[in-house]
Amino acid sequence: MIKKIFTVSCLLVLPFACFGGLISDDISVKGAKPSENYTTLEFNPGQDVINDTHGISSTFLTTKFYYGFRESKHDFGIEIPLLRNEGNNDGVNGLGDILLGTNYTGNISKHVLYGLQLELKTPTASKTELGCGRFEISPAAFLEYSFLDGFFVAGGLKYYHTFWGDSDRATTNKLRLRTNFGYISPTDWWVIIDPKYYFNLENGKKEIYLEFEGGFMFRGNVAFYLKPGFHVAGALHSKDWNMQIGVKFFDLI
């Protein structure tokens, strides 16, 4: 399965490179690096396949809006998910847990930047199966280094912790280490390799999860991307694999 997903990912990323070059007209890539804060409206449909053998999955459409203060390199926003969960029942549809987030980026040197992030997931799910039933706070920090030839690397740490809410629901207390290895082409497309390492602080279980991202800009203020991923190793098995696509509109206001 891993070989199949990797092959499909490569085949899907290649058109971004080709099409991006065809539509290029002095357009620059926006939002590919984690340090970049813009005003954006994003529509992000996808599917998380929790257990491929038993047909357990979650299909979603997440609408994201972030307002960016470019001069201060700061933004804040909201993410609203609509979900359909299948496998453990006949299928459950509805609103998921709404997320509020803010990001700040600063310069250490010409090529090195740092970022701080804070997210708050709220227990707004319309049905029990569609949310965690608790508030979840997730602070994060990262460093990013940009090379002169379009390559960049970023690494960060994020902490997930649930509090307040339904005492009968499962709690979350885990860390995530994440690294981005990316390339931004002068012909307005990009690719990113995105490995993640999760560590559960309660039971010591771990997971390595690998995602790929490929995308291109269109008419300067619209980005299209595709993001597949799969479980690599570890007993903390969040899902077998996932597939996301997205369209992001920049600077609408």
The pLDDT tens digits of the residues spanning 79-112 come to 999 999 998 767 899 999 999 999 999 999 999 9
Provide the CATH number for the domain around residue 194.
2.40.160.40
User: What's the rounded Cα separation, in Å, for the pair 26 and 36?
Assistant: 19
Q: Is the pLDDT of residue 165 over 70?
A: yes
Residue 215 near residue 187, CB atoms below 8 Å: no
Q: Is 246 a member of any domain? A: no
Q: Is 96 a member of any domain? A: yes
- What average pLDDT does the segment 154-172 reach? 95
Residue 69 near residue 251, CB atoms below 8 Å: no
Q: Is 252 a member of any domain? A: no
The pLDDT tens digits of the residues spanning 56-76 come to 999 999 999 999 987 778 999
pLDDT value of position 252: 82
Residue 113 near residue 144, CB atoms below 8 Å: yes
Q: Is the pLDDT of residue 9 over 70?
A: no
Q: Is 199 a member of any domain? A: yes
pLDDT value of position 17: 47
The pLDDT tens digits of the residues spanning 198-251 come to 999 999 999 999 999 999 999 889 999 999 999 999 999 999 999 999 999 998
Q: Is 204 a member of any domain? A: yes
Residue 156 near residue 140, CB atoms below 8 Å: yes
pLDDT value of position 89: 67
Q: Is 190 a member of any domain? A: yes
The pLDDT tens digits of the residues spanning 142-156 come to 999 999 889 999 999
pLDDT value of position 21: 44
User: What's the rounded Cα separation, in Å, for the pair 148 and 6?
Assistant: 28
pLDDT value of position 253: 77
pLDDT > 70: what percent of the chain?
89
Q: Is the pLDDT of residue 24 over 50?
A: no
Q: Is 250 a member of any domain? A: no
Percent helix, strand, coil in the chain, to 5, is 10, 60, 30
Residue 100: domain span: 2-241
pLDDT value of position 71: 75
Number of structural domains (the chain) is 1
Q: Is 251 a member of any domain? A: no
Q: Is the pLDDT of residue 51 over 90?
A: yes
- How would residue 10 be classed by pLDDT, with cut points 50, 70 and 90? low
- Mark 93-116 as b/e (b = at least 16 C-beta within 10 Å): eeebbbbebbbbbeeeeeeebbbe
Amino acid present at 3: K
Q: pLDDT averaged over the chain?
A: 90
pLDDT > 90: what percent of the chain?
79
pLDDT value of position 46: 98
User: What's the rounded Cα separation, in Å, for the pair 163 and 166?
Assistant: 9
